[in-house]
Structure 1
Amino acid sequence: MKNGYFFTGFPGFICNQLIREVLKQNEYNGVIYVLVLQGMMDKARNEKKAIVSELGLKEEAFVLIEGDITKPFLMISDNDQERLIEKVTHVFHLAAIYDLAVPRDIAFKINVNGTNNVNNWVKGLTHLKRYVYFSTAYVVGEREGTLYETELIRPTSFKNHYEETKFEAEVLVEKLKEEISITIIRPGIVKGHSQTGETIKFDGPYFMMNFLERLKFLPLLPRLGKGEAYVNLVPIDYIIQATAYLSFLEKGIGKTYHLTDPHPYRAAEIYSFMMEELLNKKPKGTLPLSVGKWFLSIRPARKFLGVEKEALDYFTWMGQFDCTQAVKDLEGSGIVCPNFKDGLKPMTTFYLKQKDNPNYQIPIL
């Protein structure tokens, strides 16, 4: 039978890029089914039109399904349920709320309860070959040292509710590995495309760019703290290509992969690289991180700087991700994580082009 690829998280950027790559790696065979919230249907139709046109697909090869992961049976209509139960062979669950400042109740509703609903729905699929769950490397919470793909250890605490709820959701998916064929993907901090710089929003490393851009009028800019922590930034193209490849790799069944940079840079290095590329300056002196955190606790200050205060926690967190399993299983595919420095120029060019576009800047609360 023809493969049926079911995605949650459409029309989000990572999801629509993954759809393109899955079709590309499978010679554009199969039917795409995407779960879409009612309020996102117009945007989803536009994104579908773009993908169908770009890849030369038939209209019937890309199906929009109205639903909601926070509801039982994903709130899919009975007619659609019957079709999906028979046709879906691969499920890619990407829908989540990706926000370091998300309130706990909202994060649990979407990330944990939503994943539990997807898990229950997936178990009813007749011809399922693979269930791919998009987690995050930061399910480790406050644990430090070397962190392995083979571990899922509950930390004593988390840096934010995003990490906490993604951990709880992954626990639920991990339990299903005994019943169905599952691959868990744990990306590092996602940045724009390594060659084009394209991204969908300025969060993560772009908070650092916002900070530098909005304080460029100062005669000198200090470092923020010692910056000894490694910050694991990974371009979207590596995550997409690696996910699409590993999702169809037979030996990927039952495995969890860190899609992280095997050779990350320290926070101070990244800060210096960005300042030089963005402002043609070098940092002078050091501002204690405690002062930076205090400053960002003031709402007008963090709104002016375009930085979530939770982002600073990653400047002092001393964890490193081991990605041996991912690197080994990607051998022979030609898929490797690009060096951060190699993608810095296109990243900066894209940022400067769109920095004043409100569609890219996330609301700072």
Structure 2
Amino acid sequence: MNILITGATGFLGTQLTQKLVNDSHHVYLLVRNRKKLEPLYQSLTDEQQELVHVVEGDLLQAELGITPEQKTALQGQIDALYHTAAYLSFDEAERDLVFDINLYGTKRALAFAKSIGVKTFIHVSTAYTLGEATTGYENLHPTDGAFVNTYEESKCFAEHEVMAEQDNLKTVIVRPAIIIGNSQSGEADTTFGLYGILRTVYLLKKRAQRKSDDHIFHLLIEEDTVSNLVPVDFVIDVLHASLTHGQAGTIYHATNPNPPTNGEIFTAIKEGMDFDQVKIVSYDEKGELSEEEQRLNQPLEVFKQYLNRSITFDRKNVKALLNQTNQQDLNMDHDMLLRIVDGFLEEQ
């Protein structure tokens, strides 16, 4: 197949590209800057590189910033478009930019897909378009609900735009939960969620070693709450399966069927870092933290709603998809969590 990918230089887009060229698909990568593709090319063989085609453009521009000549060359040639590009920001001051990329960028991608005769449009959303609810279903969530942040709101609106095009395109939505590194290698390229915690604990250990300090540091995270972590390779498997077996107008939750509790995650972090001088405590104990500890916890505030709220995700559609493609569902155990921690440490 010939497959166009937006967001190709991102963590998910890069992994997806590698998966597709491994299957001998031709991939067309929408990029603003060719230099950002250098790490991707370095990971591919010479034969695989011949399957990669660069399409210079910009999601913020009409026609995706693609020249008329390039558009003509793509006309009728693209079988599927993976829309992975997004702007992950929780900063309300960036609301206009978040919506311009996540909502209006999606509308521009849909319009371009229709104009060149793309058959299948696979949209990468987020499992957190459910807003403040605690149960997420594999259908569209209302756009007039209460959202945790601008990012979630913009992605919810974008989903409605995608599904509104069902008469013109085969549209599929894949909703990943909190993406982490590769389940086997631990390799990652993200600072979101879990990695903010890993970075905090890592710096605390360095500080304790430097000062020969045996102080116990307290982080505000609810021990029994589950965090829906999903390794990037599992998300890629779901995206890949949706290319061949995804049903039109269907939403798939690329979520963890048995997500770990924060207590289990921290057990793995402390073991993997060989550092016991950190303890997680409930937000009920926030007033008992020292001023220094309150400062240490400040960077984690942005992830509070993701690390301290247990959410149940319906997975009927994704389980059927995995069964159709004979793929195993995610089974995250302690050893996998340790590999994720080790992958983080190797990058430090």
Q: TM-score range by the shorter chain?
A: 0.7 to 0.9
CA distance in 2, matches of 1:306, 1:63: 43
CA distance in 1, matches of 2:219, 2:52: 48
1:316 corresponds to which of 308, 316, 324:
308
Aligned to 1:7: 5
Deviation string 1:112-140 (CA, Å, 9 cap, x unpaired) is 111111111111122x2311000000111
* Paired residue secondary structure (2:88): coil
Distance change in 2, residues 1:290/1:135 (3 Å): farther
Distance change in 2, residues 1:178/1:224 (3 Å): same
CA distance in 1, matches of 2:341, 2:130: 30
> Deviation at 1:80?
0.3
Aligned to 1:361: none
* Paired residue secondary structure (1:264): coil
Aligned to 2:241: 245
Pairing 1:100–2:90 present = yes
Contact 1:140/1:155, CA 8 A, preserved across alignment:
no
Pairing 1:351–2:347 present = no
Contact 2:171/2:249, CA 8 A, preserved across alignment:
yes
Pairing 1:122–2:118 present = no
| One-letter amino acid of the structure 2 residue matched with residue 123 of structure 1 | K
Contact 2:223/2:281, CA 8 A, preserved across alignment:
no
* Paired residue secondary structure (1:168): helix
CA distance in 2, matches of 1:273, 1:91: 38
Distance change in 2, residues 1:182/1:55 (3 Å): farther
> Deviation at 1:204?
1.5
Q: Percent identity?
A: 25
Distance change in 2, residues 1:237/1:288 (3 Å): same
After TM superposition, where is structure 1 displaced by more than 4 Å over at least 4 residues in a row? 282-285
Aligned to 1:56: 47
Pairing 1:190–2:176 present = no
1:230 corresponds to which of 226, 229, 243:
226
CA distance in 1, matches of 2:5, 2:252: 19
TM-score for the superposition, normalised by structure 1 = 0.84
Pairing 1:72–2:62 present = yes
| One-letter amino acid of the structure 2 residue matched with residue 324 of structure 1 | K
> Deviation at 1:315?
3.0
1:167 corresponds to which of 128, 147, 156:
156
CA distance in 2, matches of 1:92, 1:284: 41
Aligned to 1:22: 20
| One-letter amino acid of the structure 2 residue matched with residue 134 of structure 1 | V
Structure 2: give runs of 5+ residues left out of the alignment: 209-213
CA distance in 2, matches of 1:180, 1:133: 12
> Matches of residues 231-310 of structure 1 in structure 2 within 5 Å?
231-249=227-245, 251-281=246-276, 284=279, 286-288=281-283, 291=286, 301=295, 307-310=299-302
1:208 corresponds to which of 197, 216, 229:
197
Deviation string 1:290-309 (CA, Å, 9 cap, x unpaired) is 839x999x9x946xx79342
* Paired residue secondary structure (1:98): coil
CA distance in 1, matches of 2:167, 2:56: 30
TM-score for the superposition, normalised by structure 2 = 0.88
Contact 2:8/2:31, CA 8 A, preserved across alignment:
yes
Q: Is 345-354 or 6-15 further displaced after alignment?
A: 345-354
Pairing 1:177–2:166 present = yes
> Deviation at 1:340?
4.4
> Deviation at 1:177?
2.0
Deviation string 1:94-129 (CA, Å, 9 cap, x unpaired) is 111123346212211111111111111111122x23
Contact 1:207/1:306, CA 8 A, preserved across alignment:
no
> Deviation at 1:141?
1.4
| One-letter amino acid of the structure 2 residue matched with residue 165 of structure 1 | S
| Count of equivalent residues | 337
CA distance in 1, matches of 2:285, 2:98: 27
| One-letter amino acid of the structure 1 residue matched with residue 255 of structure 2 | T
> Deviation at 1:238?
0.6
CA distance in 2, matches of 1:325, 1:55: 37
Structure 1: give runs of 5+ residues left out of the alignment: 356-365
Contact 2:170/2:248, CA 8 A, preserved across alignment:
yes
* Paired residue secondary structure (1:152): coil
Deviation string 1:314-349 (CA, Å, 9 cap, x unpaired) is 233242112121012201522321314231222111
| One-letter amino acid of the structure 1 residue matched with residue 216 of structure 2 | L
> Deviation at 1:20?
1.8
CA distance in 1, matches of 2:40, 2:277: 44
| One-letter amino acid of the structure 2 residue matched with residue 281 of structure 1 | D
| One-letter amino acid of the structure 2 residue matched with residue 316 of structure 1 | N
